[in-house]
Amino acid sequence: MMAEKYVYELEMKVRDYECDLQGIVNNANYQHYLEHTRHEFLTSVGLSFAALHEQGVDPVVARISMAFKTPLKSGDEFVSKLYMKKEGIRYVFYQDIFRKRDGRVVLKGVVEAVCVVGGRLGASTLFDRVFAPYLSSSAD
């Protein structure tokens, strides 16, 4: 049996201004959904993205890949879920979005983030400590 890997999830609802002239959510907004999910996850473990920035610690996205499976439309509710791994100095977030009414996969994304401290790429003992309970093993 496959165990549920997700360590965080957030429910949201499409806002009409996020839809474009095709009548579906504009692709760039999915990146907003993924970012907001990661930042709310940070908040849930006691870290504030804005406060980190003021302390000179900036999580920065190095690479994103997204597969768009089912477009969201006006009024759709959805659940944005994530789990994470550490690979070298990168924190890799596996982020999937599901349409709420039928569980259909909307998007599957992988977001690789690194930590920039005082302008330099670096390891973050803070992140390592905070994320420890949430890291899936890379061997999974």
The residues annotated as belonging to the active site are 20
Report the nearest approach of a copy of itself to the CB of residue 23 (Å): 5
Footprint on residues 41-60 left by a copy of itself (CB under 8 A) = 43, 48-50, 53, 58, 60
3-class state of residue 53 by DSSP: helix
Give the helix/strand (H/E) hosting 1: none
- DSSP conformation letters of 63-110: EEEEEE-S--BTT-EEEEEEEEEEETTEEEEEEEEEETTT--EEEEEE
Q: Is 75 among the residues that bind a copy of itself (CB under 8 A)?
A: yes
Which of 26, 47, 100, 134 is close enough to bind a copy of itself by CB under 8 A? 26
Q: Is 121 among the residues that bind a copy of itself (CB under 8 A)?
A: no
Which of 140, 30, 9, 10 is CA-nearest to residue 85? 140
Which of 5, 73, 86, 90 is close enough to bind a copy of itself by CB under 8 A? 73
Contact (CB, 8 A) for 73 and 7: no
Report the nearest approach of a copy of itself to the CB of residue 87 (Å): 15
* Surface-to-core class of residue 121, CB atoms within 10 Å of its CB (0-12 exposed, 13-18 middle, 19+ buried): exposed
Report the nearest approach of a copy of itself to the CB of residue 112 (Å): 9
Task: State the residues that interact with a copy of itself by CB under 8 A.
Answer: 15-17, 19-23, 26-29, 31-32, 35-36, 39, 43, 48-50, 53, 58, 60-68, 71, 73-75
